[in-house]
Amino acid sequence: MANKSVTLYYDSYEKNFGDCFYPLTTCSNGYEETVIQFRYSNGAWRQSSCDNIHGLDGNEKKLLLYILNKSGMML
């Protein structure tokens, strides 16, 4: 089992009063930063800290998976 921390960015207004928590992998103007822990177990990455991510827009799912799998951690 492996653990990895990833810095993601989100619109705090949307998280608290709008469409929920849809973070981005890159910083966007006015967005806040959060560090989320993920755990690799049984062939999949699972979020293990922070508020639940409600969704990932556009290519964000692929970008997040790339970030989680890079840095020589081939499981």
Count of CB atoms within 10 A of residue 15's CB? 17
The pLDDT tens digits of the residues spanning 3-31 come to 999 999 999 999 999 999 999 999 999 99
Q: What is the pLDDT of residue 1?
A: 73
Average pLDDT, the chain: 91
| β 44-47/2-10 pair status | unpaired
Q: What is the pLDDT of residue 74?
A: 46
Q: What is the pLDDT of residue 75?
A: 44
Q: pTM for the whole thing?
A: 0.86
pLDDT tier at 71, thresholds 50, 70, 90: low
| Cα angle value 27/60/41 (rounded, 5°) | 110
Give mean pLDDT, residues 39-52: 94
DSSP conformational letter for 64:
H
Distances (CA, A) of 17 to 26, 30, 50, 65: 22, 16, 18, 27
Q: What are phi and psi of 9, to 5 degrees?
A: -125, 145
